[in-house]
Structure formats: C-alpha cells, structure tokens
Amino acid sequence: MRLQDKVAVITGAASGMGKAIANVYAKEGAKVVVSDINAEAANQTVDVIKSAGGEAIAVVANVAKEEDIQNLIDTAVNSYGTLDILVNNAGIMDNFEAAADIQDESWEKIFAINTTSVMRATRKALPIFLEKQKGVIINIASAGGLQGARAGATYTASKHAVVGFTKNTGFMYAQKGIRCNAIAPGAVETNIGTSMTNINEFGIGRTQPGLAINPRTGKPEDIANIALFLASDEADFVNGTVITADAGWTAY
C-alpha cells in the first residue's frame, strides 16, 4: 500500500494509461479523483475501482478550460481534504502534419490540451503542495517530446514543451518538498489514435521509417507501474527528469 491515504488527481483517467494509473493507485491505497471529458467512461472507471475495494470519485473536466481545472482541484480538496499527487495525463494527437500544413485551430487545440492544461493544473496544485511542503506532479509526455519525428510538428512541439516545463518545475520547487517528473511513453495500446481524423500523407511518410524499428508496443499498465513508482516515496530522489518507457525504441 505505497500510496495509503494519498489523494491523487488523474486527468484523462477514463481510458488508456490514465485508467491504468487510476486503478493501480487505488490498489495501492490512494483516494483517486478520476477526471475525464467523458462522464460515462469516468464513472465506469470509478465503478471498477470501487468494486475492487478502492475509493474514487469522477469529475468531468475539459482540461482545455481553466474553469474546469479549477473545479477539478477544488472538488478533490473538498471531497478528500487535500491533494498529494497530480497526474497530468490527458492528451491528444495531431495528424502527423509537418510545419507547412499546420492550421492555427489545430495548433491551439493541441497545445491547450497537451501543454497549457499541464501548466494550469500544476499552477492550481502548487499552493496546496507548498502549504504542506510536500507533493508529487507526474506529467505524461511522450517519446515525441524527446525526439523529432514520432508524430507531427504540433504534437512534437507540445510534448517538448511539457518536458521543459517538467524540468523547470522540478528544479524550482525541489527545496519545497515537491517533485515533478515526466514519463515519455513510446507506442502504447490506447485510444489516443481516435483523436486523429485525417492523417497527413507527407508527414506520416516521413515518420514511417522510424515507426518500423519500434521493438514493440506497450500496455497501459507498463506506464502505470512507472507512475506508481514516481508517486511513491521510493522515488524520493527522482526529480525534474523524464523516464523514457518505449522498449528501447529511442535507443536506436
């Protein structure tokens, strides 16, 4: 029970990696706030956790909206009295567009969900963490946040920004009992691909050779296990860094 009585907020927790993280946190004793834009799926995740003896509530949130993030953290504190762990997991893909094909609307939407939401949720959580001089932030970045061609230019830029924000936050608050780390997954079996609507032929054509050398695809639980470690006291000396989880894909 490595997270006994800890309160954890997880965005995008109704499916994929977020759901797996929510489940493993609950099994390890955390009180989990399952946040997602999909109310029905979020409630289903809560039902699974409760049926296994865990504790959880669902909070519907569109992380692209500041007011939803404010309500999410406020609800967590009002329900459980505090916040100990924030997992910024919600994200969407682009359509593999290279720079010449980017539309402002898609750029702004992807950054709002992938990057700005991470800043806003972190900004909202920090006063809580600073007051008690303890807290954990885990950002789900991507191999695309470390390399140049695991997706299109917009997604790549948004996840690079998350990596930089993670490192800065980790260092800035390191003496305040607060840790901020990121996980950079490679290819993982989730439904994030449904956020792509019209794949760009030029972009995917340039990316495809690198996709072919991926050793294997991971499971959401592979990422959840890393998120468990980072949230636990076992990772007390791990801060301001990125753990790559991709079966060796980026080692090539």
| Alpha carbon 204 to its chain's center | 24
- CA 78, CA 72: separation in Å to the nearest integer? 10
For residue 229, give both structure tokens.
Answer: 């470690």
Mind giving me the DSSP string for the chain? Answer: -TTTT-EEEETTTTSHHHHHHHHHHHHTT-EEEEEES-HHHHHHHHHHHHHTT-EEEEEE--TTSHHHHHHHHHHHHHHHS---EEEE----------GGG--HHHHHHHHIIIIIHHHHHHHHHHHHHHHHT-EEEEEE--GGGTSS-SS-HHHHHHHHHHHHHHHHHHHHTGGGTEEEEEEEE-SBSSSGGGG--S--HHHHHHHHHHHTT----B-HHHHHHHHHHHHSGGGTT--S-EEEESTTGGG-
Q: Which amino acids are annotated catalytic?
A: 155
| Alpha carbon 139 to its chain's center | 5
